Structure 1
Amino acid sequence: MMIKPGKSPVFDTPEAYDLEYEDVTFQADDGVTLSGWLLKSGTDKVIIQSHFGVQCSRSGFTVEGKGLMEKSLWNKDIHFLKQAKYLVEAGYSVLMYDMRNHGESENKGWITWGKNERKDVLAAIQFISKHVDYKDAGIGLLSICMGQGASTFAFGLETEMKNFENLKTMISIQPLTYDYFVANMGLPMFLVNAGSNYSKNKRDTDLTGDSFLPYVKDISVPTLVIQNNNDPMTDLNMVKEYYESLTVEKEIMWLDLEKKRAAAYDWLGKNPEPVLNWFDKYLK
């Protein structure tokens, strides 16, 4: 449920929102092929959206077949094309892509909660930076949950992130480390420990230790953090630690939403003003 891919279909299409787009593929530096949509608007500013993990894809979250997740996460489909539409209408092009092991991107194993997925964030920025239409465009990151974890790992572990002069800003939606998530899911500790030991010994992934928090200080662009104050699946002190560790221009926006993890993801598609205000400030 937490790290096994395969339950994240691409269930939506830009055509349903009257958006001009092209299907794109690009490769991470370890050879993994990623699939996505490039939604076209202006050529001078681009938003790269990285979705949350395991139960999600570039198109968002669908409750069909989710079982326990439907009750604990959200009971309605979440359409990430809603925020893509208002971004496009405001003059932004948008790259929406499936991280490895999600949607229509290449399936190469199990999910690492951002550590390996950082290569996908880097590949997305490289793709836009080399694109003939966008090589001079300002770039903003819209990074959601594991997507922001992957972005944070990228800033900390990928030296090339410092070379993207056009990368201007990031919105970080609900930072969450794996250990807090599983603890707040209410799973018995013997299952949590068994799963963590298996991951460490058999998959070389220490889910209790491979946290992105030590790399927050390496984020080099102005960052807006958005967090539901009633999120039951996180530790708000951890979110505050994330925010306090940022060494760039920063703001934090606390939302007062329903007591569901995905309430903020649903909110994102319905509230353009804070998102557009932030991106407009740094992508002029």
Structure 2
Amino acid sequence: MIVNYLADMMIKPGKSPVFNNPKDFGLDYEDVTFKASDGVTLSGWLIKGGTDKVIIQSHFGVQCSRAGYTPKDKGLITLWKTDISFLNQAKYLVNAGYSVLMYDFRNHGNSETGTCPWVSWGPQESKDVIAAVDFITYHPDLKDSKVGLLSICMGAGSTTYAYGIENGLQDYKNIKALIAVQPLLYQDFVRAMGIPGFLANRVNSFNKHRASFDLNTTSFLPNVKSINVPTLVIQNENDPWTNLDFVKQYYNELTVEKEMLWLDLTKQRAAAYDYVGKYPEKILDFFSKHID
């Protein structure tokens, strides 16, 4: 029972409703769909700002969607007591002249079930990041736009994977900047939760059978050196659910112009996700420096 519960908490989809809408924030948008390379249809919002610069936002995994995070129906473990709406950052980005593409990863929100019906923590979802960039790259009204990537947690991992694969993001000349918010490895998350080793091994074995690969040894760290645009890494230094040494290693592996923003927030992982929507200054400054 406990093994199934913990395994589901790590990779089971279906916990991520799209709980709000851009119209609630006074934003002009259209519902869009596009396909990943393996045929999975992804659902999103194209929020209309400027036509010469676009931010593509990739959300975190399992308990999230393009809309953000809601604690409703999350069971025993909740990341945050109130909704965290990612439309907050869409609002300030649009006010700064950007259009914003927000989309659901496969197995999340309103997107289709993936060819692997489980959340993979980045290897499968990297196809979705590339599909989102393709959607903007070939959009008739936005094809000449400069692109910035705002990638959160699993979104950061998926984006990093997407830089290290053949025909990946490293080949796109329109991408000008990346903000990686709290990149996290599956194995560090399991370890930080304090799950005893014998139990963690059983959970990993169960999820390895489901996902057909070992999440405990899979890492996007080797792909960091393939990132070829200026990168800002954001991390709450009081985050209890990650390995801060890994975040430092991620930053150190970057070979591009880079910045590190350490946040002194409450001792909760989701505090940084809440911060991103409420404190736009650093994000706008970084994107403005490299995109405008």
* TM class, shorter-length: over 0.9
Task: Determine helix, strand or coil for the equivalent of 1:69.
Answer: coil
Matches within 5 A, 1:58-207: 58-70=66-78, 73-108=79-114, 109-207=117-215
CA distance in 1, matches of 2:108, 2:201: 25
Comparing 175-184 and 201-210, the one that deviates more: 201-210
Which residue identity does 1:25 align to in structure 2?
T
TM-superposed deviation, 1:253: 0.3
Query: Match of 2:240?
Result: 232
CA distance in 1, matches of 2:14, 2:106: 11
Report % sequence identity: 61
TM-superposed deviation, 1:189: 2.3
TM-superposed deviation, 1:226: 0.4
Task: Determine helix, strand or coil for the equivalent of 1:157.
Answer: coil
Alignment CA distance shift 1:201-1:64 (3 Å)? closer
CA distance in 2, matches of 1:96, 1:186: 33
TM-superposed deviation, 1:202: 4.6
Query: Match of 1:281?
Result: 289
1:5 maps onto 2:13 in alignment: yes
Which residue identity does 1:29 align to in structure 2?
S
* Structure 1: 4+ residue segments shifted above 4 A: none
CA distance in 2, matches of 1:76, 1:214: 36
Query: Match of 1:28?
Result: 36
TM-superposed deviation, 1:199: 2.9
Which residue identity does 1:100 align to in structure 2?
R
Which residue identity does 2:238 align to in structure 1?
N
Structure 2 gaps, min length 5: 1-8
CA distance in 1, matches of 2:210, 2:120: 13
CA distance in 1, matches of 2:17, 2:208: 28
Which residue identity does 2:190 align to in structure 1?
V
CA distance in 2, matches of 1:162, 1:214: 14
CA distance in 2, matches of 1:256, 1:68: 26
CA contact (8 A) 2:50 2:99 kept: yes
Which residue identity does 2:132 align to in structure 1?
A
TM-superposed deviation, 1:67: 2.1
TM-score, normalised via structure 2 length? 0.95
Matches within 5 A, 1:242-253: 242-253=250-261
Instruction: Count matched residues.
Output: 282
1:221 maps onto 2:214 in alignment: no
Query: Match of 1:38?
Result: 46
CA distance in 1, matches of 2:129, 2:110: 16
Partner deviation per Cα, 1:136-190 (whole Å, 9 max, x = no partner) = 0000000000000000000011424232111111000001100010111122322
Which residue identity does 2:221 align to in structure 1?
L
Which residue identity does 1:53 align to in structure 2?
G
